[in-house]
Structure 1
Amino acid sequence: MFTPVTTTLGAVLLHLSTTTLLHSNSQILGCSSLLTNGILHPSLSTTPTLLGLLAAAALPLYPPSYPTDTSLPLLLAAGALVGVGTKLAKGCTSGHMLLGVARGSVRSLVATATFFASAVATAAVVSSPPACINGACYTPTYPAAGPAVLLVAGAAVGALVIRRLPKTEAARVATRVYAGFVFGLGLLVSGMASPAKTLGFMSVTNWNNFDPSLMAVALVGVGGNAIAWLRRKSSPRLVDEWTLPAGEVEWRLVVGSVLFGVGWGLVGVCPGPAVVAALRNGTSGLAWVGAFLAGQVAAGYV
């Protein structure tokens, strides 16, 4: 169902987490590389962020719902496609959309347009979210927003504290933990962690199943990050210089984005929500993550 208030508050959390990590550590909160490197290649640059995200996923707040009729082969296929696709495209919704588009990256603009179009087409052909109860999915509903308001206030205070930290390795690690934790909260509060909500946003060909909630993520998350980027300082707060990914639009980006979109459109799961599902969705969540990691490794040989 359309949840304009809580999804907007969740989008604020996604903005605070991604922009704080970027402007403090010059680091992109890219969930595909975060999930792979945090598990297969643990280090102080990725693992603290992943642990923060997992800690948020463990909280009993705004619990995501998961379909019970998704077959294991479909989950495995979707995870593998997302793994291969994000490896080739070097990013997913968090890195390319929330941060790349916000920075005006042509690569990220092409990637985002490609994987979203591919996801919408896939969802239209092979999948659709469950029919909403008591009306169409675009009918607004207003779940309790009090906890989300408190979470946003706490995250904002945390971002202010980070602004005052000294330029030390401990401060950089603390910033990564903060970013992962607040990002995880953003996934839960916004509803992005629930596959049906994501598929509902993709359901532009079935108006009754269309859920516009996640437009807030694009408007608030991307918009907030864009404003912060335009107002950036000459150097990040906790490191000496900006070190950000760059590159040209080439076949790997386009093909990878198409494959990622197909996998995303099959079951409505991308790498960030998959971390939540690994804790919340039992063997199904773990199966998706395992297939994703296998796809990442396989794509490394391409």
Structure 2
Amino acid sequence: MNFDSPQLINAWTPPGPAMLFCPADRPERYQKALDRADVVILDLEDAVSPENRVAAREALVANPLDPGRTIVRINPAGTGDYRRDLAAIGDTNYRVVMQAKAEDVDSIIDTALQTVALIETPLGATRAHEIAAAVNCIGLMWGAEDLVAGLGGKSSRFGPDEERPGSYRDVARWVRSSTRIAAAAHGKFAVDSVHLDIPDVAGLIAEVRDAVALGYTATACIHPSQVPYIRDGYRPSEEEVRWAQRVVEGSAEYQGGVFSIDGQMIDGPVLRQAEVVLARVVATQADAEPEDTPTTEHQ
């Protein structure tokens, strides 16, 4: 990673891998969402109709949650709702926002808050590296549906009558990859996009598994029934943990030199991968709670 980019001291990081969206105009759901997930994203943008945004901001102020586990998604820069969103957040203890449709560095800096930049437009996708370099940009997330709409397209995924049903089309996959690379290049965390097909558990599990393999920190979701699958996917298996421990112990024994385990050559990059596995153990230790049992209950 390139840590020459400006970095905030003690920047916020997700306390766990499951980040659940909650409409900000539904305050009766706030605490339930936070109880079920590691982080709740109170949404002032797409989940709230324009006529309900005044009420949503009032609810945001009147129903405080733990600011260490809460993000507020604000409307795109340059809109009246954006300014009103920031004014409402000023009356709360929240310190992390998600900038919808992030497209330039100035729109990130302008929030004057720790900001997760949501890369979900064609222009934002072409500027992901610049955006990630902003000093108060602490992480990147990407989104497929607004991206495809901005392309004049109709679907981010292949349909049931196509070759790879349910899988992302190539343009969406490219933005997913480039967003992840931009985040890593600037030492910022990355959040994978939501899986909109709630009944498609197998598809969610596959995407979470891929996100973990690529070093994503978290995955966003839209329904509490998706939370346990995300947590389980980010939680290393016992076999992975044993392998990682052997790698770390072996590296200490060989004083950082090259060695082998069961025929696998272990060098610096493999050691760093093992350290990531052990770090994920710590990050997911608090996840194993009774509500981790999958459920079809609607939020």
Instruction: Give the structure-2-normalised TM-score.
Output: 0.22
* Bigger helix fraction: 1
Larger fraction in strand? 2
Q: Which protein has greater RCO, CA pairs closer than 8 Å, 6+ apart? A: 1
TM-score, L = length of structure 1: 0.22
